[in-house]
Structure 1
Amino acid sequence: MLEREPEWYERARKGPFEEAKFTDMHADKVMRRVKEGEPQQERKGFKFRAGIAAAAGVLLLVGAGVFYLGTGPFGEGNTAGSSYQHEETADVTEAGMIKTAEKTMQEQLGKKLPFESIEPQVGADQVRVIFKDGDYYANIWVSTETGQVMMYSMSAIFDAEEIDNDMLGKAKEKLRELGYKGEFKADGLTRFVNYGRIPNQAAQVSENLFSGEAQIGYVNGKYVGAYFDVGQEEIGEDLKQTGVNAMSNLRSGTVKLNKAARNTGEGRDGEITLFYGPDVSSSSFVTMNYVTHTVLEISDPSLAPANPNSPEQRAEQDQKLLDMDDAKLQSAAAAVADGIFGIRLEDYTLVKNQPSPGTVSFESGGTAPAIEASYNLEGVMYSFKVKREMNP
């Protein structure tokens, strides 16, 4: 569900990819795999030479190339491999396993976070060593039998002065290639590293360089996406008019363009979003194909529920939507869809019980992409979008 701050904008601030944290559910699955004797990954580490770290508090994410295999971002070896193994005899004491986890964190993540705790794992001969610094973390699972690291999920943020100059230069070059007209001055870089979530897969290193106006992301050295501001003078009048026309189908009154941004990668190549209203964080927006001007998404957060993060309100919103008449919902959505997307929504099938409270899908039954619509507690629709490849 698009919340007070638009989902698209929130995704943009997070990075071109969004890296999910390693949850207890993931851990349980791996623990069961170990207990049941399923084959583990080959322990053939690979060297990862990346400038410095991925996904920070600007977009959008998250899930390719200014990074290299070899020397790490701090002028030292930085191996982000399938696992970490000590050459010396394994130390399976509590202090020894914490030391192993710390060494892995330094070599794989490139930074040491403060130690928080060590927790035995039920049903498996492993412990989870936890490090934490604010929003950044390292969860490292170590075998109590061999002293080897079995899996890990880690994240860290790095200051601008820690970023490798060569990496930064190539990021600037890629952004210019994508159409960014500004001078990219990275404020920092974040990194997420995961290993053990998927059998027989090497470590996944997601990185994002960010500034207030642009950011660019990579996974295992491969570019995956970027986000950057676009000057209003760069936008043609016909595209601006398409945005205004689309917004007028959802809300009445005059709308003023205050910001435009491009998003590339992860199924978003060629998209542009126009933001309307005094505050970008809560403004209405229209997302279009940059070349064809086809409208892909439209949202007006001012029509959304007042407290979108309230569990009670979300439950009420979901129940009210389930109780609403399907024909009424489809009719309200059709009035917008026909005018904006040029489709006959009456030919689609309405599907409730979506993961997001207050949201329904309209399925075509054919090759046409599904349409998603979100409604507030009064049944007023406040967002409408064509589901693209990157949408769940």
Structure 2
Amino acid sequence: MTASAKILAVDDEPDFEFLIRQRFRRQIREEEFAFRFAHHGEEALSALDAEPDIDLMLLDINMPVMDGLTLLSELSERQSAVRAIIVSAYGDMANLRTAMNRGAFDFVTKPVDLSDLEITVRKALANIAKLREMDRLRQAAERARNNLARYFSPNLVELLAAQDEPLGAVRRETVAVLFADIVGFTQMAETMAPEAVMAMLREFHARMTAQIFACGGTVDKYIGDAIVAVFGVPHASSKDAANALACAGKMLDALENWNRDRDRAAEGRLAMGIGVNYGPAVVGDVGSEHSMSFTVIGDTVNTAERLQTLTRTLGTPLVVGDALVAAVKGSSPEFASEVMEQLEDQGEQRLRGRAGPVRIWTRKLNGSGSGSPRP
């Protein structure tokens, strides 16, 4: 059953309440309208405080204690959502303009044409219902956007929220791909309570994802402790390679900051391995119509994962494919000169699952700069 529309009639004339009750007796009996009455502005404010769900006011202008125009000003300052219909003999243009400028919805002049009053009341209530529905839809959209933001990168959230089919057809793009995970996570997880493992993973993901988003990256997926990020989705740019490399440095810096916190809490320090690569990949949705996942697929992605695995063998936190270094040199020369001071050429390396070798670069452990460079 639909709740009654609450209407507050504010008028100091003694017969106004009787007139309203008589004219709207059927609506009151059928609980379509529920009337409240006040004799001046201060009584109206008390009534609104007691029942903040009052929808509409029928408001006289000339009243003792607090007049109608003063009440409208007070309601505006309070940012009250209640709407007002002016019902007054003071129907001169100056008063009406003042009332409308202070937020009144409409006006009816006295002596009151009760049929006109009912039409105006219903029009106002319909407008209120429309505004509430718009507000409900806005809040629902905000909730949906906030929920999307829990699972997708900001650039994808904007795309998903703005279009019916945001990602389009499967396509080939040149992107930077970053793989990162915690060194020795499997062994740690064996000796930790599941709740502690989950808490650590959440903090790790939160700290690292913040750096990915800050550098314009998109999180492709979380695989246990591993994070897969892509730079160049949904739109590729000349800065994708530089952004990915800068992100790797920021992630290592973020890990060091976290380790300082863990030291103070007498928790074990963590190490991380990051592999970064650059090249062509297929970008698009996988899955069914009931459960879709946006991902990137191809040799560039597989190689980035192999580079991340190579960090264990080489004892370094970062392994970068030469294709990415070349892309950085070509697009950001100033950034590249700073980066090259922190990277060391390791020549060609054989990677599991690849027929040919890949030239790689690693982060200098005793390099001239420990902070993350900025493109």
TM-score band (shorter)? under 0.3
Q: Which has the larger radius of gyration?
A: 2
Normalised TM-score (structure 2): 0.21
Higher percent of residues as helix: 2
Larger relative CO (CA 8 A, sep 6+): 1 or 2?
A: 1
